[in-house]
């Protein structure tokens, strides 16, 4: 029984030493811009291609996706005039989707 306790204690020490947080990381940001559709380009959301191949390639290269965020732009400014844009609608739209990756250095 004492040998089993020693073994468990040694395993815990080994695990704690291997997880000491001294890893150095490198980061990469991949930005994907949306494309306008031909029909009503100024008023419709931008279209984005399927990013699955890019994400799989990054994973194969050892990159881990840790976050993503969007960047927005003004879609149809009204320049302070309520007559410029008729009706209620959002004044911004997503123009870029950014993916943040990391991997051990």
Q: For 75-98, how does the pLDDT look when each residue is reduced to its tens digit (9 = 90+)?
A: 665 555 655 555 555 667 788 899
pTM: 0.62
Tens-digit pLDDT profile for residues 7-36: 777 777 766 666 656 778 999 999 998 887
pLDDT of residue 47: 78
- State the pLDDT at residue 13: 74
Which DSSP string do the residues of the chain spell out, in sequence order? -HHHHHHHHHHHHHHHHHTSS---EEEEEEEEE-B--STTTTTSPPB----HHHHHHHHHTT-EEEEEEEEEEESS--TT-TTTS-SS--SEEEEEEEEEEEEE-
| For range 52-71, the mean pLDDT | 92
């Amino acid at each position: 029984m004492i040998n089993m306790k020693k073994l468990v204690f040694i395993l815990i020490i080994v695990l704690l030493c291997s997880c000491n947080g001294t890893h150095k990381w490198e980061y990469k940001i991949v930005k994907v811009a949306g494309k306008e559709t031909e029909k009503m380009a100024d008023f419709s959301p931008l279209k984005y291609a399927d990013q699955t191949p890019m994400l799989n390639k990054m994973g194969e290269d050892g990159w881990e996706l840790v976050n993503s965020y969007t960047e927005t732009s003004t879609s149809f400014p009204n320049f302070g005039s309520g007559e410029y844009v008729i009706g209620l609608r959002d004044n911004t739209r997503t123009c870029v989707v950014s993916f943040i990756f990391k991997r051990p250095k």
